[in-house]
Chains A and B, each alone.
Chain A
Amino acid sequence: MKYLCLVYSEEERLHSLPDSPADAECQAYAESVAGSGRMLAAEALEPVSSATTVRMRGGKVTITDGPFAETKEQLAGFYLLDAQNLDEALEVAAGIPAARVGSVEVRPIRQLRV
């Protein structure tokens, strides 16, 4: 099973709370997950102020500044995992350092029926 762990946090506070992780800690955790053989990919994201949203409607592309929706917490990074089951994925998700200040949404990857 593959799972995508979406790390959400208030961008303003992600790096400024007493519990906020430093980049070195995030890097170390990613390496430890990679070492366990469960990681397919993991990245941190630039702030949503750098986001651009694209839509295709009636054959026409519209491009707008900003994220697709204004939310209180923003997507700050992700882990793509390969795990036996949800419990394993949840265990990895709970260890993501940003989970201490934000929330991690764990979503199973859907197999395309082709």
Chain B
Amino acid sequence: MMASASGQVQHELEEIYRAESRRVLATLIRLLGDFELAEEALHDAFAAALKQWPAEGLPNNPRAWLVSTGRFKAIDRLRRQARQDPLTDAMAQQLEAETADPADWAEDRVEDDHLRLIFTCCHPALSMDARVALTLREVCGLTTEEIASAFLSAPATLAQRIVRAKNKIRSAAIPYRVPVRRDLPERLDGVLRVIYLVFNEGYSASTGDNLMRTDLSGEAIRLGRQLNGLLPGAEVQGLLALMLLTESRRKARIDDAGELVLLEDQDRKLWDRKMIVEGIELVRRALRSHGFGPYSLQAAIAAVHAEAPCAEETDWREIVGLYDVLLRLAPSPVVELNRAVALSMRDGPDVGLNLIEAILERGELSDYHLAHAARADLYRRLGMSRQAITAYKKALSLALQTTERQFLQRRLLELAG
């Protein structure tokens, strides 16, 4: 009887850890003013819970208990260090005096703490690599080893990157707060960029043998959902929709032999309908509200694909129209390239080809393998095999990702045969 009761508590504790540990951490960082100290406090608080809860039962408000215990443990830790370093005793006293009010960790402040953590980890004064690593570590709770393996880097390198970022947060006094209204759009954009980068690395890894890394895409979607809950807005909805609509095609994107399947050849029955329904609803809401931007428009384009019963029935007029708006709002050579491909579907390969040749001539995309692959594909459609082969070879010389390379090699073989 006793054993099963404590087993039950242990199970609940694990649930609480999954659901609450990041939010407890976020509040502890605010109270303690230091990432490192807060992480140790979080660890100590859960260790204490593991000892006390099976015997005493779950507290009424586990999160408040964990924050309060973590705070106490941190002060205790500083006191013990004070024997070596007298400075920490002053810190402990200051902490004890300044954070004594339990209203400080009340429910309504916790959501703010969670947002603070996201904005600080994505602060533009940190390098993009550091922002991604720190967000995955602190906000998502991934271990350093998990992040390192997802980005194919050595755990020691990644650990060092995170330590360096935390040091900069401390020494440059990067604030732990939600940006003021005036800075919010720009800062939010920075957060969305980090989330989208994590998603893309998971959906279409830039190097390595696996084209897709589920765990990272899943984390990015989870982050997008959290952010949408905390700070709903058109572009947050747009990004979440874009990720869901892209993710919905995951199963169809790689065939049984592990080969890449292009959108037009995918078995649409494999697309995840639930994600599509959710994504389309989010796009609709985003486009209806003020302030929609590039993410909402890209999501709208993905939604048009999702709504087409088969590749032949894709509404290319609608897609070209959306690309026109996107190009006005956020001009870039990659958007131009995608618009050219859409135009080739609407008006014929020769129209798209002329545009792509012009874009490539400007030079910004001359090292972008997908630009050469798109050009090659249009030559192939026009029956100009010799030019297609040259362009596929160029694309192959630039592509780094195994599955994409296999696809290009397959196309080359087909053309040669």
A binds B: yes
- Which A residues contact B (CB, under 8 angstroms)? 1, 84-87, 90, 106, 108, 110
B173 contacts which chain A residues (CB < 8 A)? 1, 84-86, 108
Interface string of B164-187 (1 = CB under 8 A from A): 000000011111010100010000
Q: How far is the CA of A87 from the CA of B174 in the complex (A)?
A: 7
Q: How far is the CA of A86 from the CA of B168 in the complex (A)?
A: 10
**Cβ of B125 < 8 Å from any Cβ of A?**
yes
Q: B179, A87: Cβ atoms under 8 Å?
A: yes
- Which B residues contact A (CB, under 8 angstroms)? 123, 125, 171-175, 177, 179, 183
> What's the dominant secondary structure at chain A's contact region?
mixed
Q: B175, A108: Cβ atoms under 8 Å?
A: no
Q: A85, B125: Cβ atoms under 8 Å?
A: no
In the complex, which residue of chain B has the Cβ closest to the Cβ of A111? B171
B171 contacts which chain A residues (CB < 8 A)? 108, 110
What's the nearest-Cβ distance from chain B to residue A88, in Å?
Answer: 8
23 pairs, CB–CB < 8 Å, chain A vs chain B: A1-B173, A84-B173, A84-B175, A85-B173, A85-B174, A85-B175, A86-B123, A86-B125, A86-B172, A86-B173, A86-B174, A86-B175, A87-B174, A87-B175, A87-B177, A87-B179, A87-B183, A90-B125, A106-B172, A108-B171, A108-B172, A108-B173, A110-B171
Q: How far is the CA of A90 from the CA of B125 in the complex (A)?
A: 9
Q: How far is the CA of A110 from the CA of B125 in the complex (A)?
A: 18
In the complex, which residue of chain A has the Cβ closest to the Cβ of B174? A86
What's the nearest-Cβ distance from chain A to residue B329, in Å?
Answer: 24
Interface centre among B125, B171, B172, B179 (most CB of A within 10 A): B172
Q: How far is the CA of A4 from the CA of B54 in the complex (A)?
A: 53
Q: How far is the CA of A1 from the CA of B171 in the complex (A)?
A: 10
A90 contacts which chain B residues (CB < 8 A)? 125
What's the nearest-Cβ distance from chain A to residue B131, in Å?
Answer: 15
In the complex, which residue of chain A has the Cβ closest to the Cβ of B124? A90
